Amino acid sequence: MMKFSRILIVFLIFTQAFFSQVREVKDLDANWKFHKGAIENAFQVNFNDSKWETVTVPHDWAIKGPFDKDIDKQVVAITQNGEKVASEKTGRTGSLPHIGTAWYRNKFTLPKNSKNKKIILLFEGAMSEPQVYLNGKKIGEWAYGYSYFYFDVSEVIQEGENTLAVQLTNEAFASRWYPGAGLYRKVSLIVKNKESINQWGTFITTPFVTSNEAKVNVKTKVSVPNSRLITTIFDAEGNKVTTLESSLSFGNEFDQNIKVDKPKLWSPETPYLYTAVSQLFVDSQLRDEVSTRFGIRDIKYEANKGFSLNGNVTKFKGVCLHHDLGPLGAAVNKAALRRQLTILKDMGCNAIRSSHNMPSFEQLELCDEMGFLFLAESFDEWKKPKVENGYHRFFDEYAEKDIVNLVHATRNHPSIVMWSSGNEVPDQWGEAGVKRAKWLQDIFHREDPTRPVTVGMDQVKAVMESGFGALLDIPGLNYRVHLYDEAFNKFPQGFILGSETASTVSSRGIYKFPVVQEKNKQYDDFQSSSYDLEACSWSNVPDEDFVLQDDKPWVIGEFVWTGFDYLGEPTPYDEKWPSRSSYFGISDLAGLPKDRFYLYRSRWNTKDETLHILPNWNWEGREGETTPVFVYTNYDSAELFINGKSMGIQKKNNATPQNRYRLMWMDVKYQPGTVKVVAFDNEGKPVAEEEIKTAGKPHRIVLEADRSTIKADGKDLSYITVSVVDKDGIPCPTATNQLKFSVKGEGVYKAACNGDATSLELFHLPTMKLFSGKLVVLVQSKTKAGTMELTVSGKGLKTEKLVVSTSN
């Protein structure tokens, strides 16, 4: 197995300004014309698009719905879930109208004196199969909707006005989840000199790291020989650290080794970032300048020890994330991503897996800044199909190109500590699959020799016998907790990663009785119980993974399926309607934490206190019936009181995995009033307490913003949690009131989401029902500084208003 003790740290940061007047990057975000449907000659310059919809990119054409079960209805057996008999499935891709062809058109003006420039048109994600035209001529195409790609348009573009047209096509049965639709990530134009640094041509590693010094290796590919490169490193405060000038290149590549004294190391706890400024000179004239942000860190993977970061053994406390952002769909938004990561950080999460696709640049930038380890994944499908129109159609032609672009575009992020070449691919069976696994891994190694490669494997018996699992740098197991020991004994690497774990299902604030651990449990309301004891036939509840993580030093961590609910894959209700989004999330589709959030937090967040009671205590009609009470806490013992009467002390023990990580009072009889829990330290002294109360009828609306001041850039978001309380201020956990929203001032209403997987209410309309007493409203800034005011009203409720400021 390869030794991985290198360090990677940098992301090429483009800004919308001239770098010393030698490079300009312009985001093509505004004034796009959009039309859903196939149209002949829509690429021509003189095509009349005046009646098309005007949109802003990033854009997801399908997220406004409506939801319709016929959109993705199919009769299929999902082999990844162990199904052998086909049945009718609905909601698998979110039941949103993403299928079909659409066109985007944009007119932009090229700066004067650009005739002799090198001009790059960059797409960060286009869903899918884009055909790109400039000034009436086809300049290129791509296939994979998750790939980053670019075209050199220097010979086609013209000074003055240019017309860009993009045709996108989403086939039916091309995805296993909601893929989104449209130009869902940024499109930009890069104008630079012909003598310049290549696109994604900077590669920074730190092959030697100690507390006293670090060697920063900077490889820079340029377009011209006989040039000179000056690289200057700045610290996070903008102070110059060191500089190096080189005039010797190898095949148009500079290879510089720069010493940094007393380096500040990057880690999830201290995500310190440096900046390297690369200046290219030809005949003493500055021709290009690129700013590259990076961090310094050392990673190792070792047998029987696992993963080390900067010399410290570190376990992955990770989650898997699909790319959609709930009510925003697939359209990338940095504020939405930052909110997700902030919630995960509070839970104690330290790692993200992009599932099962290439991550957005914005997500990686935030993981660098906020301190998350990252598993960057590429494909959900290789040569053998999972779905009728999946990536297998493009594998032979595009797999290598897609991996090269993934690695070149993102290899400098310190957050990325491993690559994944695939997830649960059917190619795990057979000799051809073993060869494909090696071929893909070799491409990753060729383009980036500093990081290992994994695959999320679910056919564990097969890969143990075929050699598939043995050849990988990191054997990743999806579920199959009962095979961990056997796999560890048979695989040569000396460690195992839980590349996908748990897949517990629950609905926020919904509790079912009796409270028992079950697989594939279904109910008439199409919800799953938030006692966190329900899973799928092929998955398990969190505690079983906790045991492996805690007791097996060779298990190097886990990536839980999933951090947040996502659109599509409504297991276990994918044969029912309505149900159009997942139940797997630790937080729901609105980003509101489920009870399970606090179970993970009690184990992962080692700095802050966790003391959480479930279920809610509003059970009219269940008086006198058994209603178990669970407590998720980082303390080992606690005492429960119902209306002041002690229900006894519970202490964590090893009787079952649940007893080891949860405190459970199974015989409590429901009676309205107050539930109180008092937690004890290791010496038996009371150190914390929490209580919940039975609420009366909803009386008043409560609004709470995640951020009260946002940027006046027309993109920034504030997420406002909406709940209701009774006349005494007690939260109403079962409220389902229909609410209305309006915004005035320097902002607009963007969307709302209540986290209910069965709701068919549209996110973009300014009304929605509460689900389990809560929902979230998104308001978006305009481009002028000032204030906006959100008003929320509901029948029989006192109207509430909240002000959000916007600043430049």
Show which residues are catalytic.
424, 500
Helix (H) or strand (E) holding 338: helix 334-347
Q: Which of 258, 254, 277, 270 is nearest to 208 (CA)?
A: 258
- Give the pair of three-digit tokens for residue 739: 């609410």
Strand, coil or helix: 364? helix
Percentages helix, strand, coil for the chain (3-state, rounded to 5) are 15, 40, 45
Quick check: 256 and 280 in contact, CB under 8 A? no
Length of the chain: 808
Q: Which of 231, 167, 244 is nearest to 203 (CA)?
A: 231
Amino acid at site 681: D
Tell me whether the omega of the peptide bond preceding residue 686 falls within 30 degrees of 0, making it cis.
no
- Give the pair of three-digit tokens for residue 742: 């309006």
- Give the pair of three-digit tokens for residue 85: 């008999």
Residue 620 CA from chain centroid, whole number: 39
Quick check: 270 and 371 in contact, CB under 8 A? yes
Quick check: 770 and 70 in contact, CB under 8 A? no
- Work out the number of other CB atoms within 10 angstroms of the CB of residue 627: 23
Angle, alpha carbons 742-743-745 (nearest 5°): 155
Residue 612 CA from chain centroid, whole number: 26
Angle, alpha carbons 296-298-301 (nearest 5°): 155
Residue for token pair 């999320």: 456
Quick check: 8 and 411 in contact, CB under 8 A? yes
Over its C-alpha atoms, the chain yields an Rg (Å, rounded) of 27
Residue 665 CA from chain centroid, whole number: 36
Residues 6+ apart with CB under 8 A from 685: none
Strand, coil or helix: 244? strand
CA 292 – CA 274 distance, rounded (Å): 8
Quick check: 428 and 459 in contact, CB under 8 A? yes
DSSP letters spanning 633-655: ESSSEEEEEETTEEEEEEE--SS
